[in-house]
Amino acid sequence: MGYETFRRNGVTTNNLIHGGSGSLGVKPTTNLAIEVNAEGGNFAAGSVSGFNYFIIGPRLSYRF
């Protein structure tokens, strides 16, 4: 969580921003691992309306 302030075209904007990430994994067998990670947040980044984002990614790992 944070605070963002910027000036664009002579207009000052102040916003609270937040973001986070996490991951979850299971190991059903000795050689196999399954994981999912996620990340998201909201930012203005000097844009007119700001933006929200969300990313999710799976991971499958098998050892021989």
Strand 11-26 relative to strand 51-62: parallel, antiparallel, unpaired?
A: unpaired
User: For residue 13, is it within any domain?
Assistant: no
Average pLDDT score over residue span 5-30:
86
What single-letter amino acid sits at 41? G
DSSP 3-state of 34? strand
Per residue in 36-54, is it b (16+ CB within 10 Å) or e — as a string? eeeeebebbeeeeeeeeee
pLDDT digits (tens, 9 = 90+) for 17-27: 889 999 999 99
pTM (2 decimals)? 0.65
Into how many domains does the chain fold? 1
Residue at 15 is within a domain = no
Domain with 45 in it: 2-7+20-62
Mean per-residue pLDDT, 17-43? 94
Query: What are the structure tokens assigned to 17, written together?
Result: 């921003």
Using the predicted structure, report yes or no on whether residue 33 has a pLDDT greater than 80: yes
With respect to residue 12, please indicate whether it lies within any of the assigned structural domains.
Answer: no
The per-residue pLDDT for 2 is 81
Is 41 within a domain? yes
* H helix or E strand, kind and range, residue 22: strand 11-26
